[in-house]
Amino acid sequence: MEPATLTRHFNANLRRAHLRQIRFHDLRHSTATNLLEQGVELVVIEELPGHAHIGVTATVYAHFRLRLQRDAIDTLSTVLDGPTGAKADGLDGDALPAHAALVR
């Protein structure tokens, strides 16, 4: 199929579906971003858009990987804070609970 024909059909389908106009090429980035978001490793994603090596993929999606890293740190922080309501017992997070033993 000629690229111009593909673009014409793609744009017609977007209009019929009442979706905003995007470039067909943008689907590559959407696919890779969605896969990253689902936890698929970069080395696997690299092959889909046909990048020459993983460095290209890592560079293109570095901004997204930083967001995923921030999300992971936030998740870890939530886990380390303990179950919901854990601070309702009057502890501020720095004080030891009454039953805690000091280790010297």
Read off the tokens for 18. Answer: 């009442």
Domain segments of the chain as ranges: 23-80
Q: Please state, in angstroms and as integers, the Cα–Cα distance from residue 84 to each residue in 1, 33, 78, following that order.
A: 56, 31, 9
CA gap 102, 70 in Å, rounded: 33
Each residue of 66-89: pLDDT tens digit? 777 788 888 888 888 876 555 545
Q: Specify whether the CB–CB gap between 98 and 90 falls below 8 A.
A: no
Read off the tokens for 49. Answer: 């858009």
pTM: 0.50
CB atoms near residue 68 (< 10 Å)? 13
pLDDT > 80? residue 31? yes
Q: What is the pLDDT of residue 81?
A: 84
**Burial (Cβ within 10 Å: 0-12, 13-18, ≥19) of residue 32:** buried
97, amino acid identity: P
Radius of gyration of the chain (CA): 23
pLDDT > 80? residue 6? yes
